[in-house]
Structure 1
């Protein structure tokens, strides 16, 4: 059986318990489990056309909550840059990869309720998969979340809690609710099952490219769930001899909310103390006055506007170990990238265009960018 393990102090817990964080340090769990068997390109022939085709390396199997997620197209955009169209997922974002794992786990545990927190896409995905699993679900979102996303959450039958304040305040409200007995916290940040869902992104790249990976994989990073999933997959593929080298992980943040990039450039292993942050990253500069108090501001890329990601140490380590780096993009670059992609036929939300803004002009090495959310979720940038 898989087991939860705290990467900070080694505390362990059974995955059948509704224990959403390490009780000693309140940090996120990692997952300890052994793959069920060998995986090869030949073994994939004739399998189900979803992410569940990689069953040997997943901590759950034989799902009933699936909506057919995964196996999104990989499309060349330039001579060296290809795009993975994860906005074609059932709920129109890559978050379906992890949300299906959380909902399937929750279904097996039969909690009294499921709670989640999100700036939008993870919430819509958890709401949809909980609906598929017939689980009662409450999703906490910060005020200012795209009305199109909150409409989608409600449409799936979830109860919506709009929290006055920023993304951090919203997470705190959800975690307080998660402490109520009988609650499953479907956290895309704290629960490692989510990361083992997002790692299928790289398994699909490996399969579509005939058993290899590009020189670099670029991903937008807020809480780092896609990047950490990619790091898991590249490590697993390399350990099994299925790739001879690991690609560089290129982490992209909005320049206006880039605490991880600041830490990386400072050579730090964790987030910088607030008094050492660059002036434009100080907490007071990440807020603006809203009708019910201060709310998050500063970037069009709302999905990665995370000032204090709980898995910061793991994200920084993964990028360094891969030989990758952090890049940041301005608001003008985000606007221009969204229009440029639309002119090429791809209508992508503002968070999802960040990687194209950062590496779309690369010509010296092959790189894949995720188009990870549909433009219909936010509309065109102002």
Structure 2
């Protein structure tokens, strides 16, 4: 039998410490309108307790804020493959909807199912939207996904195929987010925000729990992670902190965050030694999934990278294009955004053992022109 900590019951604002029940539909701090954190203490257990458990991310039950899920598509447990000496890739594009966003969507939509809203809304440049559409279909919840104009047609087709309604918003990623947040303030609406709702981060943290298990109870020297809104990096930092607090790892890996050079507010802030990031203009880039001009969790991302002893890297579209083709020649066809970490590693290899994620399938976008 699993030993369970109590499920999370309250959100807490990391800025002003306001609180709200997790049973409410309040999607952000009512005082400062910022993202929520979760008042939850994970209790991860040793490797020898995992044998025979469900072969999905829900095997780490003691570390998750929800138990006994009904909304699952078998997400997680993606393979780890060698790319080069000292560098491995975790193939998170081999998920039910072909991106790592399934990790967070599975947990967040399970919460939505329990709350029973009239409808669910989300905003996305594509991959989070397809994940929420699929998991809402699984949960029997109506879903609308706000996407910016120019979203890949295959991603729109995928959203529609799951029965969700894509709402194409003129403008860029921020315009889509504003439209979704406006809809989220309507009564009876659950905002499935992969940025504002911390349940999503508790889903993405399973990326690191799987690495820890795959590597026999240890973590690599460096985790290289793509960063736009930072949901995978923040989930990784959360998992590392939980594993250390439980005495299951001795040291933390350096977090190396990768941004697209045309839209890199966090890399700019990190280089300047700033605690927060100033918004930057939207700009075209092949890495549309991480082209976020004003990430709401900028302070948390910058702090997590600094505390880990990590750094930021930026990559050009030319390097993204070359990295996507190089991965394809190795048998790994990913979308351009997913090639960002490999582009950064090949340009400047980190010391020691390194793991990077391949986050989205190339079938969603095709080869970059």
Shorter chain as denominator, the TM-score bin is over 0.9
Aligned to 2:4: none
Write the deviation string for residues 56-85 of structure 1: whole angstroms up to 9, x where unpaired.
Answer: 000011111100000000001111100000
Write the deviation string for residues 176-225 of structure 1: whole angstroms up to 9, x where unpaired.
Answer: 00000110000000000000000000000000000000000011000000
Cα distance in 2, alignment partners of residues 143 and 363 from structure 1: 36
Equivalent of residue 67 in structure 1, options 46, 64, 73: 73
Equivalent of residue 344 in structure 1, options 330, 341, 354: 330
Cα distance in 1, alignment partners of residues 44 and 114 from structure 2: 26
Aligned to 2:291: 305
Equivalent of residue 251 in structure 1, options 250, 257, 260: 257
The answer as to whether partners of 1:79 and 1:363 remain within 8 angstroms in 2 is no
Q: Alignment partner of 1:4: what SS?
A: strand
TM-score under structure 1 length normalisation: 0.93
Q: Alignment partner of 2:31: what SS?
A: coil
Residue 368 (structure 1) aligned with residue 360 (structure 2): no
Residue 225 (structure 1) aligned with residue 211 (structure 2): no
Residue 357 (structure 1) aligned with residue 343 (structure 2): yes
Structure 2 unaligned segments of length 5 or more: list them. Answer: 1-6
Aligned to 1:150: 156
Aligned to 1:122: 128
Residue 298 of structure 1: how far off its partner (Å):
1.9
TM alignment of 1:280-319, pairs within 5 A? 281=280, 283=281, 286=282, 297-319=283-305
> Across the two proteins, how many residue pairs are aligned to each other?
361
Equivalent of residue 111 in structure 1, options 96, 114, 117: 117
Q: Alignment partner of 1:161: what SS?
A: strand
Write the deviation string for residues 209-264 of structure 1: whole angstroms up to 9, x where unpaired.
Answer: 00000000011000000000000000001111111100000000011110000000
Aligned to 2:25: 18
Write the deviation string for residues 276-324 of structure 1: whole angstroms up to 9, x where unpaired.
Answer: xxxxx4x2xx3xxxxxxxxxx4210000000000000000000000000
Residue 363 of structure 1: how far off its partner (Å):
6.8
Residue 334 of structure 1: how far off its partner (Å):
0.2
- After superposing on structure 2, the runs of 4+ consecutive aligned residues of structure 1 that deviate more than 3 Å are none
TM-score under structure 2 length normalisation: 0.96
Residue 7 (structure 1) aligned with residue 22 (structure 2): no
Cα distance in 1, alignment partners of residues 271 and 236 from structure 2: 22
Q: Alignment partner of 2:45: what SS?
A: coil
Write the deviation string for residues 110-142 of structure 1: whole angstroms up to 9, x where unpaired.
Answer: 000100000000000000000000000000000
The answer as to whether partners of 2:44 and 2:60 remain within 8 angstroms in 1 is no
Q: Alignment partner of 1:333: what SS?
A: helix
Aligned to 2:93: 87
Q: Alignment partner of 1:88: what SS?
A: coil
Cα distance in 2, alignment partners of residues 91 and 29 from structure 1: 26
Aligned to 1:293: none
TM alignment of 1:255-294, pairs within 5 A? 255-272=261-278, 281=280, 283=281, 286=282
Q: Alignment partner of 1:77: what SS?
A: strand
Cα distance in 2, alignment partners of residues 119 and 363 from structure 1: 29
